Amino acid sequence: MTGFTIEGSSLKLLKPQERGVVSRIDSSRGDFVAQKLRSMNITLGTMVTVEQRSPRFLLRVGADQIALSDPLQDAIYVRLNR
């Protein structure tokens, strides 16, 4: 018998130092959100690492550290990368 594993998740559920590959960007949040994420180089297939969750949500994208607001966090879904 094998244990239950999560293959995908909302970015907000990741803990510090957990990594994932962006698998979906929720387009129902509006075009502004999608454009803002693209301007931060966060697109489908991008590897991201949660650096910290509090007091600010910080995400590592390549060599860049990016602070994300709640609406931006809510729009990102990742496939976990262990």
72 contacts: CB under 8 Å, gap ≥ 6: 33, 36, 37
Domain ranges of the chain: 8-81
Q: Model confidence over 5-60: pLDDT tens digits?
A: 456 789 999 999 999 999 999 888 778 998 999 999 999 999 999 999 999 999 99
Among 64, 43, 67, which residue's Cα sits nearest to residue 53?
A: 67
pLDDT of residue 81: 76
Q: Specify the higher pLDDT residue, 8 or 74.
A: 74
Terminal Cα-to-Cα distance of the chain (whole angstroms): 21
Domain 8-81 architecture: Roll (2.30)
**pTM (two decimals):** 0.85
